[in-house]
Structure 1
Amino acid sequence: MSIFSPLSPMEPLGLETERLILRRWRKSDFKPFARMNQDPMVMEFFPRRLDAEQTQALIQRIERGFEEHGFGLYAAELKESGAFIGFVGLSVPSFNAHFTPAVEIGWRLASDQWGKGLATEAATEVMRAGFEDFGLTEIVSMTAVNNLRSRRVMEKLGMQTSSEDDFEHPYVPAGPLKKHVLYRKLRP
């Protein structure tokens, strides 16, 4: 069974929540995103912080995802101020694992936006769109086992995990971040 609907790829949709606009990326997003990718708090559960060149390459990969699949990691903007605060969206993992092919929901928000429920708010809408608009049958999410903040968001989304799904992330070097937990949610 395909994880994609017969309609995808389709024209990427922008999404909205009560407090956020989730949209395609703009040139003006680069500087605040590059700052985020240098923030040790934001990047705590990633193997390394990203420099400007790596940040630009990541934005280009994100844009390719929109072109290939019709969805991607949306730039998240506060409705109230128009400020870029990070990303929330869907992507297709580029590695082979026991759960791939798959569509992953993920987020990265500026640390000054944590604790406000924004990741959960945005991810709830992205998950709805994944199932209803893009016809996905399952959405997964993954993080380092010790990333409790992201795990709480996954649980608030109604995602479930099993220790049988834990895996060693192939792109993460040996160390405390290598072991990842996988969460899943099937289309309701």
Structure 2
Amino acid sequence: MSNVFTFVNPSAFRSRTEIFQESFTASSEVEAMLPVYHVNIKGRVLDIAPADSNETPTITCRLEGFTRRRGKLHGSNTIAPINMESCMKSNWIIHDFEGNRYKWKIKSFRSPDWVLLDENENIFASFDRSAWRRHVNGRLTITKPVSKDFLLIILLTNRLVLRTVQDKETAASAAAT
């Protein structure tokens, strides 16, 4: 099983991200491939499901509050909290379903990459946007062995971080004009 996942938005008009268990830089490279997971975004709710599961979500993230800086991950009979570290940082604090704490650390919203750290600052995953194209959002590399549930949490929360960063980029572009 590959530890590299590429995030692709097949259309600018759909709120779905397809996740492929391969590494590539252009959406044309995936035309003959099938995604392994789908992440759907509907307002305050993000969910992830295996691509072959008829869209039954495996894990759902429900954002709360006016600013959507906190929420909960809902798995099978389990709930784990998530929240932004502060209003000044885009870092997200997440927990797995066993209660272990992790942090998506973003250097700055203009940075092309970010990492997932455990409580001891060990890197569990890294996301690289430097090679992204119009529909290819970036490449996630998982650096340590993880359970199936934690893999889904990593994939889903990485998409949440990507959404946060893209929202800040859009706001910065609008403010500059």
TM-score bracket for the superposition, by shorter chain length: 0.3 to 0.5
Q: Which TM-score applies when normalising by structure 1?
A: 0.32
Q: Which TM-score applies when normalising by structure 2?
A: 0.33
The structure with higher relative contact order (CA 8 Å, sep 6+) is 1
Which structure carries more helix by proportion? Answer: 1
